[in-house]
Amino acid sequence: MTISSPRQASVPLPMWQGGGTRMGFFTDTSICIGCKACEVACKEWNDVPDLDPSWSGNSYDNTLRLGASSWRHVAFVERPRPDTGVGVQWLMSSDVCKHCTRAACMEVCPTGAIFRTEFGTVVVQEDVCNGCGYCVSACPFGVIERRADDGRAFKCTLCYDRLKVGEQPACAKACPTQSIQFGPLDELRERAGARLEVVKNESGHEMAQLYGADETDGVGGFGAFFLLLDAPEVYGMPPAPSYQRRDVATMWAAASVAAGVLLGGVAGAIVWGRR
């Protein structure tokens, strides 16, 4: 089963039309061992600032979420085994920016700091970003964030600099079990489909599903998609992410009406005041 948005995009939206091969991540959470090597490799390579050390008490997760200084985040979910109800299941999943086909962060960026690379990935240019924060509210996953001490927005670049020289992203390189796989998106989707069959049928994970592999979903599919052992909300991910700019036209229309009413009111007040 794949996730598709209950609300299909109502207007034609800009899709990625790049000429090269679109590259991405397939994160197979069924073989994630929660080692967090991806988090460390990402921070080391990209020189992402440290977090203040703080023990959460939430299983082994002390990073807690993606953010301006956490571009990979391994989620830990402890729960009773869903099949038998006896014993424990411990889900682990390394989350990352989805590099959406319809990337709202990019669309709302007024400075052009966020752009689509020749690899089909979505990257923020640090020296262009003016810190307006539109992208933050546009992202349906809460991925992109501004750094408090800096003001600019940061997120996973899918190691654009490494891709430029023919290397794979640092997290995929460091992942010991190949839970994080990097490659041409078409190939990854094919591989993921086959893997899903095995996980569902042979390993007995009936609820296993691909998340973000479907181009008809609300963001046109992810450039970084997942194989999950249960519904995305179990992992703290939105079940039906949608492209926020879909509603921009109606929002502007509503805003215009509101502005008109407001202006009318102001004008009326002025007129009234002159009396």
Partner 1 sequence: MGSNMAECHPVAFQWVVEAKQNGGKLIHVDPRFTRTSALADRHIPIRAGSDIAFLGGLIHYVLEHQRYFPEYVRSYTNAATIIDERFLDTEDLDGFFSGWNPKERRYDNSSWQYAGGVIHAAAGQRTAPGALERATVVGGSPPQEDPTLQHPRCVFQLLTRHFERYTPEMVEKVTGVSRAAFLELAQTICDNSGRERTTAFVYAVGWTQHTAGAQFIRTAAILQLLLGNMGRTGGGILALRGHANIQGATDIATLFDVLPGYIPVPKVDDPTDLGEFCSLNGGAAGGYWGNLQNYLVSLLKAYWGDAATADNQYGFEYLHRLTGDHSTYQSTLGMVDKTVRGFFVLGENPAVGSAHGGLHRKGLRNLEWLVVRDLYEIETASFWYDSPEIASGELRPEDIDTEVFLLPAAAHTEKSGSFTNTQRLLQWHEQAVEPPGDCRSELWFAYWLGERIRRKLAQREDPRDAAILKLNWNYPLLQPGGDPDPHHVLREICGWDGQGTSLPGLGAVRGDGSTTCGCWIYAGAFAGGTNLTSRRRPHWEQNWVALDWGWAWPMNRRILYNRASADPEGRPWSERKRYVEWDEKTCRWIGPDTPDFPLDRRPDFQPSPGATAENSLSGDRPFIMQSDGRGWLFAPSGLVDGPLPTHYEPQESPLRNALYEQERNPGRQLFRRVDNPYHPSAGEPGSEEFPFVVTTYRLTEHHTAGGMSRFLSRLSQLQPEMFCEVSPELAAERGLRPGGWATIVTLRASIEARVLVTPRVTALKFGNRTVHQVGLPYHWGSRGLVRGDSANDVFPLVLDPNVHIQEVKAATCDIRPGRRPRGGIS
Q: How far is the CB of 30 from partner 1 (least distance, A)?
A: 9
| CB closer to partner 1, 48 vs 108 | 48
Which residues of the shown chain bind partner 1 in the complex (CB under 8 A)?
A: 31, 33-37, 39-40, 43-44, 50-55, 57, 59-60, 62-63, 78, 80, 87-92, 176-178, 198, 202
| CB closer to partner 1, 109 vs 175 | 175
Pairwise CA distance, residues 39 & 87, whole Å: 29
Contact 163, 19 (CB under 8 A): no
Apex 103 CA angle, 97 and 106, nearest 5 = 100
| CB closer to partner 1, 124 vs 175 | 175
| CB closer to partner 1, 51 vs 248 | 51
| Amino acid symbol at 89 | Q
Q: Which two tokens stand for residue 34?
A: 């929660």
For residue 249, count other CB atoms closer than 10 A to its CB. 11
Pairwise CA distance, residues 143 & 122, whole Å: 12
Q: Residues near 44 by Cβ (< 8 Å), separated by ≥ 6? A: 170
Contact 9, 102 (CB under 8 A): yes
- Residue among 28, 7, 18, 2 at smallest CA distance from 195: 28
Q: How far is the CB of 238 from partner 1 (least distance, A)?
A: 24
Q: How far is the CB of 44 from partner 1 (least distance, A)?
A: 6
| CB closer to partner 1, 80 vs 112 | 80
Q: How far is the CB of 264 from partner 1 (least distance, A)?
A: 55
Q: How far is the CB of 210 from partner 1 (least distance, A)?
A: 17
